[in-house]
Structure 1
Amino acid sequence: EQISQAGKEASGTGNMKFALNGAMTVGTLDGANVEIRERVGAENFFLFGMTVDEVDALYAEGYQPRKYYEADPRLKAAIDMVADGTFSNGDKGTYQDLVNDWLNKDWFMTLADFHAYTEIQSDIEALYAQPLEWNRKALINVANSGYFSS
């Protein structure tokens, strides 16, 4: 996965090395992901999330992450589990700053991309249940990623 917010790409070329080894990238349309997707084919790349233009537009209109939390029961349940101590042996304070950031700032628009991310994970799960097709796509990634090898 190379799931940086579009416009904030931080992958360098690490994800190219993954593709060279058959990994199908899960990622946003940014940075090296753009090049990988062009080489391996859109059908062999798991794209999700907003584009740079969509990110910029959402910032411009005044991004309010809490709206996403309140509108998506799965997202709310996930954040509530972090907040209620489920992942910190019942200590509600461990991730308090993280939860506060998600709900009030969310600089990287994690909440805005959450639904798209869960949808692409469903696609991945369905493909993984078809081993021949999964392997075919992995081999396509290997073959077409040779371009990135020096």
Structure 2
Amino acid sequence: PEIGDLLKVVFVPDYNVSVAELLIPASELSQHISTAGMEASGTSNMKFAMNGCILIGTLDGANVEIRQEVGEDNFFLFGAEAHEIAGLRTERAMGKFVPDPRFEEVKDFVRTGVFGSCNYDELLGSLEGNEGFGRADYFLVGKDFPSYVECQEKVDKAYQEQRRWTNMSIMNTAGSYKFSSDRTIHEYAKDIWNIEPILLP
């Protein structure tokens, strides 16, 4: 009730390409938040950027290239980098990780049942402890949480500056040329298949 007129969370059933054709062009901010080094590099982030949507994400998968192409100032970056992940997991196993108080507060809030009378023990348990299967926060959500919160504050500030946000949106579209199928096919033909295009009359 406190935020009902400010924030809506909607689950879209049977999400598919036809639905994406409607949702993606209407989006202003899209989150691509996999743990660095864990994403197989999907293409939805490219589709959002091509349509002028600004991304918030980690340096993972195609996010790395998108950020390079659209410019660092036009991408909201947070989280640990891929080369840090193994060391962070080792620190966790050694009991050296100190969770951010805000992260603990969020977990406690979920436990109150405010989101429904589900049993959240397995989910929250996966974020706790220092070792063991299904525990110890393998994806480092707790580690990335403070950085994510700070990044969202930057998003809020940028969104209030309409000219800046519009410029970022335009730069995302303009910088996305590298991900077009035309460039990709031309490059494959030239560098991999060693064939020349045939011009049709």
- In the superposition, the TM-score normalised over structure 1's length comes to 0.89
Distance in 2 separating the partners of 1:143 and 1:127? 19
- Choose between structure 1 and 2 for higher RCO, CA contacts under 8 A separated by at least 6 residues: 1
C-alpha displacement at 1:66, in angstroms? 7.0
Equivalenced residues, count:
144
Provide, for residues 78-137 of structure 1, a one-character-per-residue CA deviation record: whole Å limited to 9, x for no partner.
Answer: 11011121111xx3x521111111112211010010000000000000000011110111
Q: Residues 1-150 of structure 1: matches in 2 within 5 Å?
A: 1-63=31-93, 64=95, 67-68=98-99, 72-88=100-116, 91=117, 93-104=118-129, 105-150=136-181
Q: Which has the larger radius of gyration?
A: 2
Q: Could you say if the C-alpha distance between residues 59 and 66 of structure 1 is closer, same or farther in structure 2, counting changes exceeding 3 Å? A: closer
CA offsets, 1:9-37, max 9 Å, x none?
14411100000011111111111001100
Q: CA distance change for structure 1 residues 85 and 65 in 2, over 3 Å: closer, same or farther?
A: farther
Contact 2:70 2:172 in 1 (8 A): yes
Moved more, 13-22 or 54-63: 54-63
- Residue 85 of structure 1 aligns with an amino acid whose one-letter code is G
SS at match of 1:94: coil
3-state secondary structure, aligned to 2:126:
helix
Higher helix share: 1
Q: Which runs of 5+ in 1 are unaligned?
A: none
Distance 1:43 1:56, change over 3 A: same
Distance 1:52 1:66 in 2: 18
CA distance in 2 between partners of 1:102 and 1:137 (Å): 34
Identical aligned residues as a percent: 43
- The TM-score normalised by the length of structure 2 is 0.67
